């Protein structure tokens, strides 16, 4: 049995990791909540955002945290353009076509990155990369602590946007009844593209929070997209609250699982939870759209 002095720091570090997982999953759950499709390009777009953050630092000397607003804005434009002029046009309004198109985009982005950057793993160092924050009960790396606070702040901003703004009301209207939204004058295609853009902008922010303590390679998106799908299923497809709670729970599960099973098998508990949910509660903990 592990002592409490060892278990508690593991839980705290799991929460800091889980907040970033939740941020990645928030973009995925927003896209599902509005478009009602699974975005298979989510992981590849996160990988592209990590490369953008890497080269902004290596080439321009931009600190990833300072680059966050720029990358979020840039990837909003990328996401909007992809949905409005690629996914929307190629799918012809059929959900099964959307799945194939996003899968094709994922394969294209990953192979382009492999061609341009090879399979090399790249990392960066910042002045706080190896600094630790003493919380009394645990030592937390500064990048993890900043990522935790920023992820919660972005999640709160996203919730406020959806719940308290005209844009949010339009998004919720389209998510619940797109035909009715058209009848009251909402440009549904524009809202679709905005939602996809916001979901992709969140990935730009997540990449800036991840890079100081993680690495980037052409296959790195696969690491996070599997976890993000698990978070979305755990919390409930389309639920913001569920994505946040699910991300924190998955982060703690991975961290504590690493203590018992070793670092390489730490994620095993995540997939046990995933299978159990599919068997016993397929709607997730908060199974509602844009809740």
Residue 55's domain is classified under what CATH number?
Answer: 1.10.3470
The percent of residues above 70 in pLDDT, for the chain, comes to 94
Residue 7 belongs to some domain of the structure: yes
What average pLDDT does this structure show over 104-115?
95
| pTM assigned to the model | 0.92
At residue 232, the pLDDT reads 87
Rounded distance, CA 142 to CA 132, Å? 5
- Tell me: pLDDT of 285 over 80: no
Residue 285 belongs to some domain of the structure: no
Rounded distance, CA 95 to CA 128, Å? 44
Rounded distance, CA 174 to CA 187, Å? 9
Q: What is the pLDDT of residues 16-60, one digit of tens each?
A: 999 999 999 999 998 887 877 789 999 999 999 999 999 999 999
Residue 271 belongs to some domain of the structure: yes
What average pLDDT does this structure show over 196-217?
95
Q: Which helix (H) or strand (E) holds 141?
A: strand 139-141
- Tell me: pLDDT of 291 over 70: no
Which residues constitute the domain of residue 253?
2-117+137-280
Residue 248 belongs to some domain of the structure: yes
At residue 91, the pLDDT reads 81
Model confidence at 205, in pLDDT bands (50, 70, 90)?
Answer: very high
Question: What is the overall mean pLDDT for the chain?
Answer: 88
Residue 289 belongs to some domain of the structure: no
H-only helix segments in the chain: 4-35, 42-60, 64-82, 88-91, 95-117, 142-164, 166-176, 178-183, 188-210, 220-235, 240-261, 268-280
Residue 262 belongs to some domain of the structure: yes
Residue 232 belongs to some domain of the structure: yes
At residue 121, the pLDDT reads 93
Rounded distance, CA 19 to CA 23, Å? 6
Q: What is the largest CA-CA distance in the chain?
A: 61
The mean-pLDDT minimum among 148-157, 166-175, 237-246 falls in: 237-246
Per the model's pLDDT, the better-predicted residue between 273 and 227 turns out to be 227
Model confidence at 290, in pLDDT bands (50, 70, 90)?
Answer: low
The total domain count for the chain is 1
Model confidence at 241, in pLDDT bands (50, 70, 90)?
Answer: confident
Cα-based angle 200, 235, 258 (whole degrees, multiple of 5)? 90
Rounded distance, CA 218 to CA 208, Å? 17
At residue 55, the pLDDT reads 96
At residue 64, the pLDDT reads 95
Residue 288 belongs to some domain of the structure: no
């Amino acid at each position: 049995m592990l002592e409490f002095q060892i278990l508690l720091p593991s839980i705290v570090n799991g929460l800091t990791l889980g907040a970033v997982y939740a941020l990645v999953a928030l973009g995925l759950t927003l896209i599902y909540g509005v478009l009602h499709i699974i975005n298979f390009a989510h992981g590849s777009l996160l990988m592209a955002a990590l490369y953008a953050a890497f080269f902004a630092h290596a080439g321009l000397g931009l600190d990833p945290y300072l680059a966050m607003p720029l990358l979020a804005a840039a990837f909003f434009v990328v996401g909007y353009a992809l949905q409005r002029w690629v996914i929307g046009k190629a799918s012809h309004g059929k959900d099964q076509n959307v799945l194939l198109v996003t899968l094709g985009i994922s394969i294209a982005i990953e192979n382009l990155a492999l061609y341009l950057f090879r399979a090399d793993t790249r990392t960066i160092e910042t002045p706080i990369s190896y600094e630790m924050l003493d919380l009394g009960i645990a030592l937390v790396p500064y990048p993890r602590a900043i990522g935790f606070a920023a992820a919660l702040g972005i999640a709160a901003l996203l919730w406020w946007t959806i719940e308290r703004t005209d844009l949010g009301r339009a998004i919720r209207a389209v998510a619940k009844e797109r035909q009715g939204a058209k009848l009251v004058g909402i440009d549904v295609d524009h809202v679709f593209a905005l939602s996809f853009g916001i979901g992709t902008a969140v990935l730009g922010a997540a990449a800036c929070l991840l890079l100081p303590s993680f690495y980037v390679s052409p296959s790195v998106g696969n690491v996070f997209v599997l976890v993000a799908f698990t978070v979305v299923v755990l919390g409930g497809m389309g639920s913001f609250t569920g994505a946040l709670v699910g991300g924190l729970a998955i982060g703690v599960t991975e961290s504590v699982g690493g203590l018992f099973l070793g670092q390489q098998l730490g994620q095993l508990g995540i997939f046990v939870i995933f299978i159990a949910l599919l068997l016993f509660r397929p709607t997730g903990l908060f199974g509602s759209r844009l809740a």
